Structure 1
């Protein structure tokens, strides 16, 4: 069936159309920037003879504090305050239910005492402003919790300097996917065409 010019033309047209669609769909996306900060939790503890117990306690409590920080950054009120202090509009049109997706928060594998918080926007300046506001917000909240005795004074956090990278468009991958999808779609059309005879 591939010997006919019509079938070959159908296959080529489908491949070209899908490939162009895949390329332009990705190429038309606005340039995005992703920035991140690393939050590290540590506690000043007096050394005891029960090292194993002490280390286990610190590991669990540090994880709990990181969970509290994560919860803070998924609350709509706090998120709005962070963006207000950054003098930046929230990226995109989001419902309140989707506010928890604004910041990508990943704790170190296996628990631990660190978490990486990332934010993506089409403006490099916005990313920098939001991450700076985010760092100040976290430190402010921790100080408030200490003053209210919600957390012990021994608990401290270190917020790293922000790192911002440009997100590359995946035009090549999208084009290759379009080529594959076009070939499959073209073959399906040819098969239906042949079996319909």
Structure 2
């Protein structure tokens, strides 16, 4: 049975706030268990690491791209001790708008521009990925696929490490797969948009 404890985050040298994209922007809740706890720390010195890699064959990755195919960021998923550590790093500065971008695991492993949602309706960017992943039987907020928002610096770069126990490796690769989605900058006109997407897999 999947546990739903909070999500602990290490953001290098940056303050972090939490938002939920795909809905109106929200601020961090004061209710226990509803908001991922956040920790800030200075950048690791030479020779230090911020995560412990999972054993060979356990890690997953995603290459996030814009609807027009530009590479934006890489993400890795490492599984240790019942938790998954998600590391996201931009690969090309200046593409993402500075600010906080909602980041979520979505239901289906598809990242198709100008596609239709599984439930139908008009097409839009990455809609075929469906909505946020939610584990069977889980209700309320945060949803199982909700991760800490990615803060993009003024130069368009970003780096984030966050952990969660809300899903497993089997969940990410089973069935139709899953996708990692970035949304537009909080409080901007594009806050609800799906601006970058990557299919989660072993490649």
Shorter-chain TM-score bucket reads: under 0.3
Name the structure where strand makes up a greater proportion of residues.
2
TM-score scaled to structure 2, two decimals?
0.27
**Superposition TM-score, scaled by structure 1 size:** 0.28
Which is bigger in relative contact order (C-alpha 8 A, separation at least 6)?
A: 1
